[in-house]
Every structure is written in C-alpha cells, then in structure tokens.
Amino acid sequence: MMIWPWKKTNGTAAAAADLRERNSAEDALTALIGALPDPVMLLDDHGLVRAANVRAKDLLNMDPVGQHLSSAIRSPAILEAVQNVLEHGGELRVNYEQHVPVPRHFEAFVAAMNVIGPEAAALVLLKDLTREQQTERMRADFVAHASHELRTPLASLLGFIETLQGAAKNDEASRERFLALMQTQAERMKRLIADLLSLSRIEMNAHQRPTGTADLHQIALHVRDTLAGLAKDAGVEIKIDDTDPLLVQGDWDELVQVIQNLVENAIKYAASGKLIEISGKRVGEDCELEVRDHGPGIAEEHLPRLTERFYRTNAQESRSRGGTGLGLAIVKHILNRHRGKLRIQSELGAGSSFVIRVPAVK
Ligand code: ADP
C-alpha cells in the first residue's frame, strides 16, 4: 500500500468527514495508478512527488515519494513541462532518455490534474517507446537493404541494355555474352523477390501454428532428389541416414523449404567437404534433423547473426553463388511458426552442423 504523505488529521467532525472523503478519493487514485501499465507519478503544486506506482519506483531505481521531482528524474525537459502545466494547466509531451543500465527511450506525458485539489496537481506518465523504435529502425533497415539488393542488379541490367543499344549493337558475340550476363542479373532479382515474398507470407502467418503433419525423413529424401543436379555439379554426395519416420506437426511445403535452404547452403558454401550428411532422431517430445557438412566452417563471431536478414559472412561469395542473404532468416521464421528451433554449430576448418528441432506429432 502506498503512503500519501499529505494525509493529515485535524480535530473537528466536519474536518474528519472531509478527510474521509479525501482519503477514499486518494485510495481510488492510488489503486488506479497502481494498475496502470506505465510508470506514473503524481506531483503537488510545488513539484513534490506525492505518489508513485511500483513501475515508476522500478524505473527510477528509488522511491521518489516525498522528494522533489528534480531529485527523482534528471530531465530539464520534464521539469520544464511540469512547471508549465502547473502554471498554465493543459498537457505536454516531451522526450526522456535513460542511458543506464541499457539505453531506453520514453515519452513523458505531463498533465495538470485539478480534480483532487492542490495536493495532486500534476501527473507524469512515462511511456516506454524503446521497443517500438527498435522495430521501426529494423523495418527501415530492411527496406534499405532490400532496395539496395534490388538496385544493384537493376543498375547492371540497365548498363547492359545501354551497351546493347549502342557500342555492341551489331556485335553478335558481345550480344550473346551480355544477354547471358543480363539473365544472371534478372534471375538474381527474381530469387530475391521470391525470398522476400516468402518471408512476408511466413510472417503474416507467424501466429498460426501449422496443423498438418509431415515426416522430416521423407522431406530429406525429397530435398535430396530435388537438389540432385546441383549436388552433382558441385561434386557433393548427400547421404541420408535411415531412421524411423520423424512425424512432426507442420506444413510440408514450409519444412521442405527449411531443409532445402540448409542443404542448398551446404552445397553452395561447403562443396569442398564433398559430403553432406543428414540424420534425424526423436528427442523427447521433439524430432531433430541435422544437416552436417565438411566445408570451411563459420567463424564463431558470425554464428549468432546468421539468421538476420541479409547477414552474410562474405557478401561477395554469397552473391556469386546466387545467395540472397535471406535463406536462414526464412528458416528461422518457419521454425518459429512451428514452435521449433535452429541450432548452429561450426568451427573454422571443421565444417558446420545445422540442427532443426520441431515438436513431434503427439
Ligand atoms: P545466402 O543467401 O547468402 O546463402 P543465408 O541466410 O542462407 O544467405 O546464409 C547466410 C550466410 O551464412 C551465408 O551467406 C554464408 O556466409 C553462411 N553460411 C550458411 N550456410 C553455410 C555453410 N553450410 N557453410 C558455411 N557458411 C554458411
């Protein structure tokens, strides 16, 4: 229970009735700010903090009740806003940044209160905007990345078109060469758009858990058939261990995409290891499937970031192998929707292991 420091008693019966009324209003106000989801403080007309909810105490790492606002919060903007609403009424919104223990960004909402009398004259509510701002920044970064990825092949296509219209107009050999290069660039754009659409489709369904069933072992066999040509061209053998069916609750097409992205990566980046091994097993309530290669491996510092959109350990190499930088982001999103997980273990020179874990059919 919060203490209202201005509760005083004085002798007369009328004063006692008045006090009871005021106390019950104060109790209601106390309960109200206690139930609010944001840090809230109530100030008197001198700027002294008269009440604060637990969230405010946690945020300020102190109990500000009884102190002047300036000792609770070091923000000239908030103090000025409080001064302003105390003098002129109304409401104001100002920014407030916290730097320790982690940077956080708030909007302080400061409003005059004249319902309760001079003791609760202003309210300060701090709305945490850190998450919203992070999401907004990620969205802006994503758009910038995607546009950049599309602009590069587009610029090179435009360059080739110009050359074909001008210098190489009547040069058959150059024409063939440029057309082949243009095809490569156009296909890169097509892949990127397909991956972007895939990601947005998965995100749209992110909260709906798939209802079908799929066998991870069968999917591995299917992916091996699909990628047989690619593996052969790269000189890689795909070996799949025999197992009992690994039935999981999931969407066949999406899980095909997960395993296909992992095996494709192993072919693209780890062909030097010559062998890709796929094995699966039941682990408690889940099924696991591992795609293991014997390629160059991945340095430890990259591992936590590999599933970020457009994160690559070597952008040049990824592009030259037809990578979009979205493969593992798609894997992660599909697994999230399946309430599954991805575990990556790798070491430079020792190959990589990508393990997916998905809840088994009950
Ligand atoms: P990309 O389209 O570039 O392949 P991914 O999201 O599928 O994008 O993979 C991200 C990065 O992770 C790749 O660019 C590559 O640097 C690295 N990577 C993924 N799989 C492997 C692997 N099996 N061996 C080595 N590096 C890998």
Reported as a single tens digit per residue, the pLDDT across 50-88 is: 999 999 999 999 999 999 999 999 999 999 999 999 999
* Alpha helices per DSSP H over 105-171: 130-165
**CA 122 from centre of chain:** 37
Percent of the chain beyond pLDDT 70? Answer: 95
Domains parsed from the chain with CATH numbers: 13-128 (3.30.450.20), 130-208 (1.10.287.130), 209-362 (3.30.565.10)
Looking up tokens 């895939």 gives 198
Of 4, 112, 7, 119, the closest CA to residue 65 belongs to 4
Q: Is the CB of 325 under 6 A from ligand 1?
A: yes
- Is-contact 262 331, C-beta < 8 A? yes
330 lines ligand 1 (CB under 6 A): no
Handedness of CA 238, 244, 250, 252 (dihedral sign): positive
Say yes or no: CB of residue 327 within 6 Å of ligand 1: yes
* Ligand 1 nearest atom to the CA of residue 266, by list position: 23
Q: Is 87 helix (H, G, I), strand (E, B) or coil?
A: helix
Residue nearest (by alpha carbon) to ligand 1 atom 11 = 312
Torsion sign (Cα): 150, 152, 154, 157: negative
Contacts of 344 (CB under 8 A, 6+ apart): 298, 303, 306, 352, 353, 354, 355
DSSP-derived secondary structure letter, 118: T
Atom of ligand 1 nearest to the CA of 293: 23
Classify 317 in phi/psi space as left (phi over 0), alpha (psi -120 to 50) or beta: alpha
pLDDT at site 13: 76
Atom 2 (ligand 1): residue with closest C-alpha?
323
Q: What confidence score (pLDDT) does residue 25 get?
A: 74
pLDDT of residue 1: 39
Pocket test for ligand 1, best of 190, 269, 344 (most atoms within 8 A of CB): 269
CA nearest ligand 1 atom 14, residue: 312
Interior CA angle at 308 toward 304 and 313, to 5°?
A: 70
- pLDDT value of position 7: 47
Instruction: Show contacts of 202-206: CB within 8 Å, 24+ apart.
Output: 202/254, 202/330, 202/333, 202/334, 202/337, 203/333, 205/337, 206/333, 206/336, 206/337
What global pTM score does this model have? Answer: 0.75
Per-residue pLDDT of 90-100, as tens digits, reads: 999 999 998 87
Distance 306 CA to ligand 1 centre (A): 7
Of 302, 318, 321, 353, the one to substitute when testing ligand 1's pocket (max ligand atoms within 8 A of C-beta) is 318
199 lines ligand 1 (CB under 6 A): no
Find, among 41, 101, 111, 102, the residue nearest to 70 by Cα: 41
pLDDT score recorded for residue 117? 54
Rounded Cα distance between 151 and 148, Å, is 5
- The ranges of the chain with pLDDT < 70 are 1-11, 22, 115-119
Query: CA-to-CA distance for 278 and 243, rounded, in angstroms?
Result: 11
CA-nearest residue for atom 4, ligand 1, is: 323
CB of 260 within 6 A of ligand 1: the answer is no
Residue with the smallest CA separation from ligand 1 atom 27 is 269
| 225 Cα–ligand 1 center, Å | 21
Strand duo 286-293 + 352-359: pairing: antiparallel
Q: Which two tokens stand for residue 200?
A: 């947005």
